[in-house]
Structure 1
């Protein structure tokens, strides 16, 4: 199937049990019935025909009454799988089979947030890069080790398969697909209608809240101490001296508890503190750099951009009160 606009008119949006309402609402707005003024701006009107599709197991007051059975996936050119509250629950067996069939026929496959778990269950993400909500990224990686999980990114495209991060990143992906199909002007018009921020590229980082480790009380104590001394010069050796561990032992136990190295974690926490100060204060970048232990504004910019894919000034414009 050629991925040109006329081939992508039929869109099937999959609604599973326990779906996330916003994951359904955004694709409905972008690929469903357009408001008259937007449709009138195109010679052929609205470019998509969207159908909500749901397995028979999806029950409850929030499930759309107009949802069609799963066999509608057999004729869809683009299949979008909305996220669910608990992606660890096994997806409907018929849904997995129909998703695989749609993929094998050449449909464009898309997931919003935790919808990636259903694509992975169908084997569609095997050998591919993908993303999902950062909170569930570790589960996706552990359950489907053949998938390269890129949890830092807003959305990922890998040879015709598209996955997005949590909730609002689905808006970025939907606008990206609209731009691919019908150009930047059409995507911009839809973004204005959605009152959406300017388009964010998929490579921008998700803004991930730090989750403290557990299970090793000694490492937890080390982490507490580090957080109390972030504004000071910290090295592996100085942290090791405080913790009364050799640097080799500290490296091993810290990585086991957190999944990363000591100094990478320190840099991440310094950036996290800088984010808070950028959001909530009017401090200059130089002051923030010193309060977070970077030593210079240039060092802050380098680390901040590496971890968030955004400069401190751009981040402040987007997130400051």
Structure 2
């Protein structure tokens, strides 16, 4: 059984949290493994979404019990990372746990030293800042997601879905990824090297024809 931990706390993006919950939802009735999802936070109760309360199920001391730790992005990505969260991410990596960041969650992984010497990505708006703050990271500012081994990062918003589906494919197989993608009504696969966005502006000359 896969145990997935989602790191929550002040400022963590509710969208990213819900994406992780949705990908690792219980679909055992469709033949998929049944994961255990834990909500990890430093404080006892964290309400990030006024429409759906997000409450802690475990504290940060339990990260070593996980198989996967997912670090959502932040609503204030350039603010200083929470020291307890950074320490928890570092402990998870030391324990050999798969650590995954969504969007600007890459800044927390960087602060924990996980990305030094690695390829990493984040939302294109903040890629230059990630490279400036952490010059030992090989920032891939155009990639949807990238990583290897036990550390992976993704770009903004829906790129997190792409990365998590890729990890489902690696862990549970292509058929499982297809089942999850079908349930979420999302493409089953976009390569990590696909550009985050395309310039779709129409040249004036084309408009005149």
Larger radius of gyration: 1
2:5 aligns with: 12
Q: Does 1:40 align with 2:29?
A: yes
Unaligned runs of 5+ in 1: 1-5, 209-271, 278-287, 293-321
TM (norm. structure 2) is 0.89
Q: 2:80 aligns with which of 90, 114, 127?
A: 90
- Checking the alignment, whether the CA contact within 8 Å between 1:12 and 1:72 is kept in structure 2 is no
Alpha-carbon distance in 2 for matches of 1:69, 1:164 = 25
Shift of the 170–78 alpha-carbon distance from structure 1 to 2, 3 Å rule, reads same
Higher helix share: 1
Q: Distance in 2 between matches of 1:81 and 1:61?
A: 15
- The one of 181, 206, 209 aligned to 1:291: 206
CA distance in 2, matches of 1:107, 1:143: 25
In the alignment, the residues of structure 2 paired with residue 16 and residue 141 of structure 1 have an alpha-carbon distance, to the nearest angstrom, of 25
Matched ranges for 1:17-32 at <5 A = 17-31=10-24
Show structure 2 runs of 5+ residues with no match. Answer: none
| Preserved CA contact (<8 Å) 1:16 1:84 | no
Q: TM-score, normalised by structure 1?
A: 0.59
Rounded Cα–Cα distance in structure 1 between residues aligned with 2:145 and 2:176: 20
- CA shift for structure 1 position 163: 0.3
Following TM superposition, the consecutive aligned residue runs of length 4 or more in structure 1 with deviations greater than 4 angstroms are: 57-61
> Contact 1:16/1:82 (CA < 8 Å) preserved in 2?
no
Shift of 1:23: 0.5
The answer to which structure, 1 or 2, has the higher relative contact order (CA under 8 A, 6+ apart) is 2
Name the CA shift for 1:96/1:200 in 2 (closer, same or farther; >3 Å): same
Query: Which position in structure 2 is the counterpart of 1:50?
Result: 37
- Where do residues 146-157 of structure 1 align in structure 2 (5 Å cutoff)? 146-157=136-147
Aligned to 1:169: 159
What residue in structure 2 maps to residue 244 of structure 1? Answer: none
Query: In structure 2, what is the Cα distance between the partners aligned to 1:189 and 1:50?
Result: 18
Classify 1:133/1:164 alpha carbon distance in 2 versus 1 (closer, same or farther; 3 Å). same
Equivalents in 1 of 2:87, 2:188: separation in Å?
A: 37
Kept in 1: contact 2:45–2:55 (CA 8 A): no
Residue in 2 that maps onto 1:231: none
Would you tell me which structure has more strand in proportion to its own residues? 2
